[in-house]
Amino acid sequence: MTAQAPVDSPAIGVLRRVFGYDSFRGAQQEIIEHVIGGGDALVLMPTGGGKSLCYQIPALVRHGTGVVISPLIALMQDQVDALRALGVRAGFLNSTQDQRQRRDVEAAFAEGKLDLLYLAPERLRAEATLRLLDRGAIALFAIDEAHCVAQWGHDFRPDYLELSALHERWPAVPRIALTATATEATRAEIADRLNLGAARHFVSSFDRPNIRYRIEPKTDPNRQLLDLLRDEHAGDAGIVYCLSRASVDEKAALLSQSGITALPYHAGLDSRTRTVNQARFLREDGLVIVATIAFGLGIDKPDVRFVAHLDLPKSVEGYYQETGRAGRDGLPATAWLGYGLSDVVQLRKLIDASEGDFAHRRRLAIHLDSMLALCETVECRRVQMLAYFGEPATACGNCDTCLTPAQTWDGTIAAQKVLSAVYRLKRERNQSFGATHIVDILLGKETAKVMENSHAELKVFGVGAEFSASEWRGVVRQLLAQRLLAVQGDYGTLALTALSDEVLAGRRQVPLRREPPRAPRARSAKPAKAVAAVAAELPEAAAGLFERLRAWRAAAAKEQGVPAYVIFHDATLRQIAAELPSTLADLSNISGIGEAKLTRYGQQILDLLAAGESE
C-alpha cells in the first residue's frame, strides 16, 4: 500500500473527485507529486499499471495545459472522449482533423481553456505548432510510448528524435516520459536521447500477475486456437496475432466460420476497414480481432481477456508489450503462444535477408535468441521475462511451467544424430538441406528426394526410428534455439555452428525439454457457455445484473459513439452488481465513479437496479 496522502493534497482530491478512485497505486503518488513540483521524470511501468494518471493529474493541478506527445493518432479521439466523459477539458491536434476543428482546438489552447492537449510527434516539426505552444501556458510535457525514441527497442519512430528540442525551447516546463517497455539498454537510450539524464527515474515492477503465460509447441494451430477461444474464453474480447497478412485473413475467416465474431486488421486492408474494425473492437463487447503486430500499440481497452500469438514474436520486449494488452483491468487474463520449427527457420531467414548493417542484424539475432530461450525454458516464464527486464522474481505459480512443470531428458544422442546427418551431407556430398529432408533421412523414408540423391546410402539413414517426425522436428527446433544448429540461405537449410563440434565429439550434454504429444489444456473451472468470463465469477443473481448493466452501457456507448469502457469499466459494473448501491451517495463510493459520471449516469443506474428488484 502507498502511504496515504493528506486528504487536502490537491492530487488526491483530483483522483477522488474527477476519476472516482480511492487511492493511488504503486508509485503513482510519488511520481505525481514530483511532477507537480516541477521535476522531470522517466516512468517505467507495465501496461495497465496506471501511467495516464501520472501526467493527467499534474496537468490538472498545475497552471496551464498538459501537452501529451503520442504516436497513436487513431486513438486520440477515444482518449479525449474518455477524458471529456470525466469532465476534463481535453483536445487533440493531428492529421485526421479538418482545418476548422484544428482552429477550434488551437483557440481553446491559446485562451487557456484546455487541461490536456494531445499531439502527434510529427506536429512538432512544424514551426507553426511551436509558435502555437508559445501562445499558451504549458503545465508539462508528457512523452507517451517513450521507447519509440530508442533504436535498440522494437518500435523505433524517427519523429521521436526531435523531442529533445522541447527541453531546449521550454527549459522550465517539466517533462515526464512514460513507457511500458524498457530493458536496461532501452532505458539508457531513452534518457540519453530525450535529454532526461537529470530526471528522476521511477521504475515499477514489470510484473503483470493477473496474466497467465502459456507457450506451447504448435501442433495443430487451428485446433489449438479454437480450443482456447471456445473452452476458456467464450464470449470474451481478445487479440490473435499472426505474422503475415495472409494468415490474418485466413484465421479471421476460420474463427468467423466457427461462430466467433472475429475481424481482421493489417496494413493491407484499406484504411477505412481498418478504422472500422478497430473501432468495433474497442466499442463492442466480446469481439476478437485477428491482427499483425501493426495493431495494438496504445490500445487501452481494459477488458481484453486473452492475447494469442500464432507465430513467434521477434523479441521478448515485443512479446511482453503485446501480451500486456490483456487484462489491463487487473482481472484474470491469458497470454497464449504457439510456436514451431518453421517459425524459427522463417525468422532466421528474415534476419539474414533484412536490410541494414551488420550491427542491426546482430541486434535482431540477439532479440530472437532471447525469445527462443523463453519458449524453451523449463523454468518459470515470468521469472525469465522479468529477468530480461533486469527484475529479480520468484516462481509465479501462474504460468504453464509453474502449473505443469516441464520435464527434461538427455537429448545428447538425438542431437548427435541430427548433427551428424547435417555433417555427413556436407562432408561427403557437399550438400545442405532443410529440416524436413534431414528428418526423412533419420527416419529412413524412401522419398523421391532421398532416392534421387542416393541418401539411403548414408550411414545415418534410418538411425532415428525411435522418434516420430514431429518429435524430430521438436529436437531440431530446440537445437536451433540452443544455437547448436543454424539456418542458412534462402531455402533455410541447416548448417553446423561453432558449438556443434562439442556435441559431436561427446564433450557437451544436450538437455532437451520433453514435449507432450498433445499439450495438455489448462483446465478451467469456467463453464463453456458463452458467458463472458468476467461475469462467470460473480454469484448467479449478480451475474444477471452485470449482464443487464452491460447492455445498458452498450446502448449508452452506441448513442454517444464512444467505446463502452469510456462510460464505465467492467470492474465498476461488477462492483455495482455485487454491492447493489441504493443511493447516489452509495454509488459515489464505487471505484470509477467520479463527480461527472455520478451526475450523468447515477440516477439511470439506480433506476435500473430498482427495476431489477421489482421484477
Joined grid coordinates for residue 61: 493541478
Contact pick of 39, 64, 268, 302 for ligand ADP (by CB under 6 A): 302
Which option in Zn ion, ligand ADP, none does residue 382 bind, with CB closer than 5 to 8 A by kind?
Answer: Zn ion
Min separation Cβ 468 and Zn ion, Å: 29
- By CB under 6 A, residue 206 contacts ligand ADP: no
Contact 85, 567 (CB under 8 A): yes
Query: Considering beta carbons, is residue 54 or 380 the nearer one to Zn ion?
Result: 380
Alpha carbon 551 to chain centroid, angstroms: 28
Asked if 221 interacts with ligand ADP (CB under 6 A), we say no
Q: Which of residues 574-593 bind ligand ADP (CB under 6 A)?
A: 591
- By DSSP bridging, strand 200-203 and strand 41-44 are parallel
Full strand arrangement of the beta sheet holding 90-93? 90-93, 116-119, 65-69, 138-143, 175-179, 41-44, 200-203
Residue 47 in contact with ligand ADP, rule: CB under 6 A: yes
108 binds, among ligand ADP, Zn ion, none (CB under 5 to 8 A by kind): none
d(CA 499, CA 494) in angstroms, rounded, equals 14
348 near 492, Cβ under 8 Å? yes
Q: Tell how strand 211-217 and strand 333-339 pair up.
A: parallel
Question: 15 or 291: whose CB is closer to ligand ADP?
Answer: 15
Using CB distances below 5 to 8 A depending on partner kind, what does residue 85 bind out of ligand ADP, Zn ion, none? none
For 87-91, the CB contacts below 8 A with 24+ separation are 87/18, 87/594, 87/595, 87/596, 88/18, 88/56, 88/60, 88/115, 88/116, 89/113, 89/114, 89/115, 89/116, 90/114, 90/115, 90/116, 90/117, 90/118, 91/116, 91/117, 91/118
Assess 53 for contact with ligand ADP (CB under 6 A).
Answer: yes
Phi-psi region of 177 (alpha: psi -120 to 50; beta: other; left: phi over 0): beta
Beta bridge partners of 176: 41, 142
> 28 or 482: whose CB is closer to ligand ADP?
28
Q: Which does 318 bind (CB under 5 to 8 A by kind): ligand ADP, Zn ion, none?
A: none
Report the candidate in 41, 81, 77 with the shortest Cα–Cα distance to residue 58: 41
According to the binding rule CB under 6 A, does residue 462 interact with ligand ADP? no
Residues 4-43 that bind ligand ADP (CB under 6 A): 21, 24-25, 28
Q: Which of residues 520-579 bind ligand ADP (CB under 6 A)?
A: 569
Residue 25 contact, options Zn ion, ligand ADP, none, Cβ 5-8 Å cut-off depending on partner type: ligand ADP
Eight-class DSSP state of 399: B
Taking residues 105 to 144 in sequence order and writing x for each that binds ligand ADP by CB under 6 A, - otherwise, the string is ----------------------------------------
Does residue number 597 form part of the binding site for ligand ADP (CB under 6 A)? no
Residues 165-184 that bind ligand ADP (CB under 6 A): 180
Asked whether position 245 contacts ligand ADP by CB under 6 A, the answer is: no
Contacting residues toward ligand ADP, per CB under 6 A: 21, 24-25, 28, 45, 47-53, 180, 300, 302, 328-329, 569, 591
